[in-house]
Amino acid sequence: MKAHDGLYIDGAWRPAGSRDVIEVVNPVDEQVIGHVPAGGALDVDAAVRAARAALPAWAATPAAERAARLTALRDALVARKDEIAETVTAELGAPPEFAQAVHVGLPIAVAGSYAELAAAHSFEEKVGNSTVLHEPVGVVGAITPWNYPLHQIVAKVAPALAAGCTVVLKPAEDTPLTAQLFAEAVHEAGVPAGVFNLVTGLGPVAGQALAEHPGVDLVSFTGSTAVGRQIGAAAGAAVKQVALELGGKSANVILPSADLAKAVNVGVANVMANSGQTCSAWTRMLVHRDRYEEAVELARTAAAKYGDRIGPLVSARQQARVRGYIEKGVAEGARIVAGGPQSPNERGYFVSPTVFADVTPQMTIAQEEIFGPVLAILPYDDEEDALRIANGTVYGLAGAVWAGDASEAAAFARRMDTGQVDINGGRFNPLAPFGGYKQSGVGRELGAHGLAEYLQTKSLQF
């Protein structure tokens, strides 16, 4: 992998203030594949200054021209799609087919959607005797995780640029090479200098400096609840806007009238995809007591298929964390029907696809986000019980409901405290608002709702 030894600030790759570097490791074989600079507070400051200086001109650029740059960005990502997929495979461990289809395919679709939205959006509206202007919020500090390295970046940067904001990005330390490729694509797309800036670095150093910088108007963060809480508190104290996309513990509710085999198979696939490193994964499967054992058997068979088809976890730290949760599940009395805490390979950060039965709603594995290929199957007595269990965590990011007909499933979904629900396997929609109820976050990403996050209103009265 070719890595830049600089930071992309004000339209060029520049040396970082310190010589500190981050080692990038391939989680399949644990080999170091590259180094990137670990930026510090001075680098963040330089990047924020560049973004601030570029803001007036970019905010005043006609939306059609911003849309043209986003179209060019989408095209630059398309032109590099093999290189990006190989890089995501190398630094995240994603299997090549999944890397192409999802890690590259999804952000290309999202970049394209914001090219269209920027062109079509009406940045002015009439309300009685007022003209309401939708103006960019300003300089955005974007902090992203490693689980979908390019998607998480595009889901923030594309709407920010569409809105007329400028951006400083601090990507996850585990996946900085994909972020560097993104910066190259932005450059090729002819986005003016300073509009987008990249500072690779460590969370508690570069990330914290960005979140606390007084020159940042909006902090958009995706990652753990623990860090999100800190960033939210700091933003509140500084009275600046904040968007938080945090964890989940989403419920896959299989009602008695559902096609059980289909619901279980799609449910297991949903959890195992990306080795379980998906914030919206349906990690709790809720099945009526009468069909519980049948569902457990179906899940056991389904999980066995994933044995050698999923990649490793991103890091030794995540592997240890996930194995710790599996041990905790056993200790708290849940029954392992597939997988387990032992490592399936000698080398690499792999965890076996794991299915737990006899899980009760109070268990740690039914409450906390594990972020690995681990499914908990819980029995319920009736619909009210299912609803109580589904809504019984601090999270509310996504979910699924399966029933004999869509209207029955939708009626249940309306009562769920969560931001997205897939009805009978409804497919992912990159234009639908994505974000959390309760402690899953603040704000929405994607589509027109995601664009609105980067706009503020000014009313002129006539």
Active-site amino acid positions: 245, 279
Site for ligand NAP in 282-321 (CB under 6 A): 318, 321
Question: Using CB distances below 5 to 8 A depending on partner kind, what does residue 252 bind out of Mg ion, ligand NAP, none?
Answer: none
Q: Quick check: 434 binds ligand NAP (CB under 6 A)?
A: no
Measured from the CB of residue 69, what is the shortest distance to ligand NAP in angstroms? 25
Measuring CA to CA, how many Å separate 385 from each of 87, 393, 418?
45, 14, 17
Question: Using CB distances below 5 to 8 A depending on partner kind, what does residue 279 bind out of Mg ion, ligand NAP, none?
Answer: ligand NAP
- CB atoms < 10 A from the CB of 425, how many? 15
Among 224, 301, 343, 364, binds ligand NAP (CB under 6 A): 224
Site string for ligand NAP, 327-346 (x = CB under 6 A): --------------------
Measured from the CB of residue 287, what is the shortest distance to ligand NAP in angstroms? 25
Measured from the CB of residue 221, what is the shortest distance to ligand NAP in angstroms? 6
Sign of CA pseudo-dihedral 322, 327, 328, 332: positive
By C-alpha distance, which of 131, 123, 203 is closest to 165? Answer: 123
Q: Quick check: 202 binds ligand NAP (CB under 6 A)?
A: yes
Is the Cβ of residue 227 or residue 413 nearer to Mg ion in the bound state? 227
Q: Quick check: 173 binds ligand NAP (CB under 6 A)?
A: yes
Question: Using CB distances below 5 to 8 A depending on partner kind, what does residue 369 bind out of Mg ion, ligand NAP, none?
Answer: ligand NAP
Question: Using CB distances below 5 to 8 A depending on partner kind, what does residue 165 bind out of Mg ion, ligand NAP, none?
Answer: none
What's at 82, amino acid-wise? Answer: D
Q: Quick check: 454 binds ligand NAP (CB under 6 A)?
A: no
What's at 140, amino acid-wise? Answer: V
By C-alpha distance, which of 118, 188, 117, 186 is closest to 153? Answer: 186
Site string for Mg ion, 186-205 (x = CB under 5 A): -----------------x--
Nearest-angstrom CA–CA distance, 7 and 9: 6
Measured from the CB of residue 222, what is the shortest distance to ligand NAP in angstroms? 5
By C-alpha distance, which of 157, 187, 162 is closest to 62? Answer: 162
Q: Which stretch binds ligand NAP (CB under 6 A): 10-18, 42-50, 226-234, 327-335?
A: 226-234
By C-alpha distance, which of 431, 461, 454 is closest to 134? Answer: 454
Q: Quick check: 149 binds ligand NAP (CB under 6 A)?
A: no
List alpha helices for 273-357, DSSP H: 292-304, 316-331
306: CB partners within 8 A, 6+ apart? 268, 269, 272, 353, 373
453: CB partners within 8 A, 6+ apart? 159, 218, 220, 243, 443, 444, 445
Sign of CA pseudo-dihedral 375, 379, 382, 385: negative
Kindly list the residues in this chain that would bind ligand NAP in the complex (CB under 6 A).
143-145, 147, 170, 172-174, 202-204, 207-208, 211, 222-224, 227, 230-231, 245-247, 279, 318, 321, 369, 371
Kindly list the residues in this chain that would bind Mg ion in the complex (CB under 5 A).
203
